[in-house]
């Protein structure tokens, strides 16, 4: 379980080796792959340290019932997945986490029952940082996801921050699907079954950056421009239906359980404040004062060439109070 909301991190570093994939190479189609995007973490990762962030949406999944002010049952797009239907009874909260169950239970013309929740109609945002701390189900035929889709409905695009296959428990993927244009990557070495991991995506107008436990695993600038719109988000567990997800067989353990410790979304406020020292520091003249940073009242100071020498920048956990007349 989590202990608290995160504060600015020390900063993720570039790690791991991502390999590039395309939908064409894998023979993927929108209908075959479905929607989804999933996030995870053994340690609590935090928003990238190069910027300052505001928490705009979060669910820590305490209690025993789904928060109807934040979520609705159902997939982000479409009534059913390739091989499963979203059974509301398979969405459960206990012991501080959301649990999405996958079962061999027919319904709505499908052989299997999955589970999904979406914040469509309850939340939307353009750009930011999204993360969730998860454990995925192991076994052929399960696909755990976290997906972003157009807030006003429709397709393209959809953005899979992360997507997993139960038969590859240590090999998460991400994808962008944009009406015939697709890009994606995967990486080895992160076992999402045995322990929690935190998966996140930083999304801006020109680039998508994918993180595992605070470490950059992949970047994409080729299709990020196609995601310049407000999006909503879904957490989904799909079962069977196509060659990508896989068809459950005699080795598949039932039920499959996709566990989400928390889901959080942040908006970027600006670049990270300049950390001048471990204690509050008074700027020494115009050159120092021109640096960006937080003022004592919490407002962001972007810096000006002729800033008054009395201006104070926030450094570390505290700030001295500048004269009122020196505020921008």
232 falls within a domain = yes
Instruction: Please tell me whether residues 102 and 192 are part of one structural domain.
Output: yes
Q: How many Cα atoms sit within 13 Å of 137 on the Cβ side?
A: 27
Instruction: Please tell me whether residues 311 and 168 are part of one structural domain.
Output: no
- Domain with 295 in it: 274-328
321 falls within a domain = yes
Instruction: Please tell me whether residues 114 and 76 are part of one structural domain.
Output: yes
33 falls within a domain = yes
Query: Which range among 44-48, 191-195, 202-206, 223-227 shows the weakest confidence by mean pLDDT?
Result: 44-48
φ, ψ for residue 298, nearest 5 deg:
95, -10
Find the mean pLDDT for residues 186-195.
Answer: 82
13 falls within a domain = no
Question: What is the residue whose two structure tokens read 């407000």?
Answer: 230
267 falls within a domain = yes
Domain count of the fold of the chain: 2
Give Cβ neighbours of residue 197 (< 8 Å, ≥ 6 apart). Answer: 40, 41, 42, 133, 134, 135, 190, 212, 213
Instruction: Please tell me whether residues 92 and 52 are part of one structural domain.
Output: yes
Q: How many CB atoms lie within 10 A of CB 211?
A: 26
Last residue of a domain, one of 238, 271, 304: 271
Question: What tokens does 52 get?
Answer: 């300052």
Instruction: Please tell me whether residues 44 and 190 are part of one structural domain.
Output: yes
Last residue of a domain, one of 232, 248, 271: 271
162 falls within a domain = yes
Find the mean pLDDT for residues 242-265.
Answer: 94
Mean pLDDT of the chain: 73
Between 32 and 151, the higher pLDDT residue:
151
111 falls within a domain = yes
pLDDT band at 307 (very low <50, low <70, confident <90, very high): very low
Find the mean pLDDT for residues 143-149.
Answer: 91
Instruction: Please tell me whether residues 262 and 302 are part of one structural domain.
Output: no
pTM score over 0.75: no
């Amino acid at each position: 379980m989590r202990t608290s909301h995160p504060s600015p991190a020390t900063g993720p570093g570039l790690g791991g080796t991502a390999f590039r994939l395309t939908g064409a190479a894998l023979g993927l189609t929108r209908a075959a792959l479905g929607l989804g995007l999933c996030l995870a973490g053994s340690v609590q990762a935090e928003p990238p340290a190069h910027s300052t962030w505001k928490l705009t949406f979060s669910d820590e999944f305490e209690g025993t019932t789904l928060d109807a002010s934040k979520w609705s049952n159902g997939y982000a797009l479409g009534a059913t997945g390739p091989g499963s239907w979203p059974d509301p009874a398979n969405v459960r909260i206990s012991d501080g986490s959301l649990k999405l169950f996958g079962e061999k239970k027919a319904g709505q013309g499908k052989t299997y029952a999955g589970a999904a929740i979406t914040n469509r109609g309850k939340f939307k945002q353009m750009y930011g940082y999204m993360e969730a701390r998860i454990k995925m189900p192991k076994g052929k035929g399960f696909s755990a996801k976290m997906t972003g889709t157009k807030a006003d409905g429709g397709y393209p695009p959809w953005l899979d921050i992360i997507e997993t296959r139960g038969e590859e428990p240590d090999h998460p993927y991400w994808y962008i699907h944009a009406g015939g244009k697709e890009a994606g990557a995967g990486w080895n070495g992160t076992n999402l079954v045995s322990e929690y991991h935190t998966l996140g995506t930083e999304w801006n107008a020109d680039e998508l950056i994918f993180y595992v436990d605070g470490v950059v695993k992949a970047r994409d600038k080729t299709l990020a421009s196609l995601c310049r719109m407000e999006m909503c988000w879904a957490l989904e567990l799909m079962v069977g239906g196509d060659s990508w997800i896989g068809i459950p067989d005699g080795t598949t353990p039932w039920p499959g359980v996709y566990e989400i410790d928390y889901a959080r979304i942040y908006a970027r406020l600006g670049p990270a404040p300049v950390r001048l020292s471990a204690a509050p520091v008074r700027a020494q003249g115009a050159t120092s004062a021109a640096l960006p940073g937080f003022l004592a009242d919490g407002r962001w100071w972007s810096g000006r060439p002729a800033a008054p020498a009395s201006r104070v920048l926030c450094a570390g956990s505290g700030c001295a109070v500048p004269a009122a007349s020196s505020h921008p």
